[in-house]
Structure 1
Amino acid sequence: MDWKLELVFVPVSDVDRAKDFYVNKAGFNADYDERPSDTIRFVQLTPPGSACSICIGEGLTDAPPGTGSNLQLVVDDIKAAHDYLKNNGVDVSDVDAQEWGHFVYFADPDGNKWSVQYIPWRNAGQPAD
């Protein structure tokens, strides 16, 4: 039996502001935005190429805005990812080259933290030492 992680809740204070950030600055796809009741709004957003989406909205979680788990994306080109985020107005860190991968970091408008990782040996077809 497969167990697949497909949705992660991210607590935000302003759904429209967060949706704008994730779609227009971080480049996520807007998959779904519905209000099934007066107290619930469900917005599903997916990073390009990902099998896992995030969910923002109203009436979905009791977690305070900005307290979501630190989330991590993995890319094939950290420079291109950095430049994409920076060129779209995201306050993104410089590239942090570590032995286990290269990273850039950013946060959404509520302070939910993200890292983007590039794993050099994956592209080279070799395992890490």
Structure 2
Amino acid sequence: MKAINEMTMKLELFVLPVSDVDRARAFYEKAGFRLDLAKDVTEDFRAVHLTPPGSEASILFGKGLTTAAPGSAQGLYLIVTDIEEARAELVGRGIAVSEVFHDDKGIFFHGHDGGEVVHDSPGQERLAGPHPERASYGSYATFSDPDGNGWVLQEITQRFPGR
């Protein structure tokens, strides 16, 4: 039962810091993101809005939108129902994606650079291939856009209760 005055919040949009708007747009369209808006308002203000396939949340980048350093966004998760299929789709589109991996303890994954995992967090050990039982939330692959903004594919086939 919903509590009285319970607020609903949905993450809808993430502003992504990029150095070259046209290069970023080409990359995300190549990756299969849907173009929702491309607007050149002034010479100093441009906006490109794209949405990953099947997502309710979108990304926005451009010129004059953020002071964050290009490539500084990390740990952006794209949830997929079949990690190997999603990886193959992106690779087929010309996107460099890490091999599929899992954590030996099934812990939330973080830490990569340029599409390749470069370190494990304390208590975390990466193992090659998808989770042996294909446990939901257990298999990952990573990729980065041309600026180094880091994305994580995560396989979820059954959500935790309440999600």
TM-score in same-fold range (> 0.5)? yes
Which one-letter code corresponds to 1:106 in the other structure? F
Shift of 1:47: 0.3
| 2:35 alignment partner in structure 1 | 30
Runs of 4+ in 1 over 6 A off after TM superposition: none
| 1:5 alignment partner in structure 2 | 11
1:15 aligns with 2:21: yes
Q: Which runs of 5+ in 2 are unaligned?
A: 1-6, 107-136
Which one-letter code corresponds to 1:63 in the other structure? A
| 1:41 alignment partner in structure 2 | 46
Q: Deviations over 1:57-113 (max 9, x none)?
A: 000001111112420010111111110111111111111123341000000000000
Selected match of 1:110 from 125, 143, 147 = 147
Task: Please show how residues 39-78 of structure 1 align to structure 2 within 5 Å.
Answer: 39-78=44-83
Secondary structure of 2:151's aligned partner: strand
How many residues of Structure 1 are paired with residues of Structure 2 in the alignment? 123
Selected match of 1:101 from 128, 138, 141 = 138
The structure in which a higher percent of residues are helix is 1
User: 1:9, 1:68 within 8 Å by CA — same for their partners in 2?
Assistant: no
User: 1:41, 1:59 within 8 Å by CA — same for their partners in 2?
Assistant: yes
Check 1:91–1:2 CA distance in 2 against 1; reply closer, same or farther (3 A cut): same
User: TM-score w.r.t. structure 2 length?
Assistant: 0.71
Q: Superposition RMSD on alpha carbons, in Å? A: 1.6
The structure in which a higher percent of residues are strand is 1
Q: Deviations over 1:16-63 (max 9, x none)?
A: 110000011x11001000022332101001001111000110000011
Which one-letter code corresponds to 2:17 in the other structure? P
Shift of 1:126: 7.9
- Structure 2 CA distance for aligned equivalents of residues 88 and 40 of structure 1: 30
Which one-letter code corresponds to 1:118 in the other structure? E
- Structure 1 CA distance for aligned equivalents of residues 15 and 75 of structure 2: 11
Q: Which runs of 5+ in 1 are unaligned?
A: none
Aligned-residue identity in percent: 47
